[in-house]
Amino acid sequence: MNNATLAPDPSLVRERPEVYGDAHPKELLRAIVEDGEHLLPLENQHILAADQFDRATLLQLFRLAAKYESNPHRFSTPLQGKILISAFYEPSTRTRLSFESAWHRLGGDIMSITDRASTGIAKGASLADVGEMFNNYADCVVLRDTREESLSEMMGSRRIPTLSAGSGIEEHPTQAMADLYTILKWRPALLRADLPPAQRITLGIIGVPGKMRTVRSLLKICSVFPEAFARIHVFHDGAGADDSGLLPELRSRGLDIVEHDGGFDAVVPQLDVVYINAIAWVGNGFERHGGQYRLDEHTAFKDDAIVLHPLARGDELSTRLDHTARNWYFSQARGAVFLRMALLTCLVQRKGRVLDVV
């Protein structure tokens, strides 16, 4: 009798939209030979910087991420009995849930801190003491704070592994690991030992190295794989873009980095991968940069070029690209969960439960 009400609102009929870029984690998996030895440096480590591990360690990490992504329901209990403290003293949904989802999918338990006001820090507890307490309560800590120095203050007394989930303007290392993981899934051939120079890719980054932690961490992790990049173009709004002197250091590691103030339209036809971000976290708020840059269906992309974005996005990235093959930013967000699963497994020394050969 209620047939009328059974027909759902058409705006709510969900097609299952294809997320580009999820097709082939197995190709990356096959491109890397499993070698658990290289994951040893991750055990019980703090994760503060995107470039703190060597190439072999990162590759094995990517391999494990691809293994998880290829068969997301195969491993559901490696972290059973392990407890994560997920402490976000700066607002976040995406990154917090990404980490927590990763931990839950592996069977672990979680205690969340979602704002500073609800914590003992409000009554003057020192961060070092809070860190000391965390040792008693959990097996791992994921930490985000607006102050870069908070992480090192807390880590000083930490005996359990602690990951930065974004520290002020400094670093967002797991985001960068997920970024590179996405690029390697898209083109596993970049890992070939005999990669011809002509097959190196050209990466365009729209963002401000001096102010955006995502951009800083991406550039740093690229410097661990300099042979994969023919050139990296960085587009920003000019003066003060690299106050920290990061770019000279990275050039010395073998990256060919060119900075631009404008001129994106002339360069975009050469770019294999375009990474764009407009938000910089500064102090307790954020700034928007790069108002002159925008990606949409009229952008003169190279054939087969893909777009990455750490999200959340604003006007700089048109939603009209969402349903095109350029869209690897949703895949990037999806892959980040598996990358974090791989990293967390190694940090808490449970890799033995998921590797084929131990």
Residue 301 interacts with its own copies (CB under 8 A): yes or no = no
Spatial distance between the Cα atoms of 80 and 76, rounded to a whole number of angstroms: 8
Residue 30 interacts with its own copies (CB under 8 A): yes or no = no
Q: Considering beta carbons, is residue 175 or 271 the nearer one to its own copies? A: 175
Helix, coil or strand: residue 206: strand
Residues 45-74 that bind its own copies (CB under 8 A): 46, 48-49, 51-55, 73
Residues 67-106 that bind its own copies (CB under 8 A): 73, 76, 81, 83, 85, 88, 91-94, 96-98, 100-101, 104-105
Cα 179 to Cα 121, 127, 132, 193: the distances in Å are: 33, 30, 32, 21
Query: Which of 33, 124, 196, 303 contacts its own copies by CB under 8 A?
Result: 124
CB of 139 to its own copies, least distance (A): 10
CB of 258 to its own copies, least distance (A): 21
Q: Considering beta carbons, is residue 272 or 316 the nearer one to its own copies? A: 316
Residue 323 interacts with its own copies (CB under 8 A): yes or no = no
Query: Of 287, 289, 244, 281, which is closest to residue 167 (Cα–Cα)?
Result: 281
Q: Considering beta carbons, is residue 129 or 265 the nearer one to its own copies? A: 129
Point out which residues pair with 287 in neighbouring strands: 280
Q: Check if the beta carbon of residue 246 is closer than 8 Å to that of residue 258.
A: no
Residue 115 interacts with its own copies (CB under 8 A): yes or no = yes
H helices of 173-315, where? 173-186, 213-222, 246-252, 264-267
Contact window for its own copies (CB under 8 A) among 169-177, 232-240, 298-306, 308-316: 308-316
CB of 197 to its own copies, least distance (A): 18
Q: Considering beta carbons, is residue 104 or 294 the nearer one to its own copies? A: 104
Spatial distance between the Cα atoms of 85 and 111, rounded to a whole number of angstroms: 5
DSSP class per residue in 160-197: S-EEEEEETTTB-HHHHHHHHHHHHHH-GGGG-TT--G
Residue 17 interacts with its own copies (CB under 8 A): yes or no = yes
Query: Of 31, 72, 33, which is closest to residue 341 (Cα–Cα)?
Result: 72
Taking the alpha carbons at both ends of the chain, their separation in whole angstroms is: 62
Residues 141-160 that bind its own copies (CB under 8 A): 152, 155-159
Query: Which of 138, 234, 241, 342 contacts its own copies by CB under 8 A?
Result: 138
Q: What is the DSSP letter of 317?
A: B
Query: Which of 37, 120, 238, 265 contacts its own copies by CB under 8 A?
Result: 120
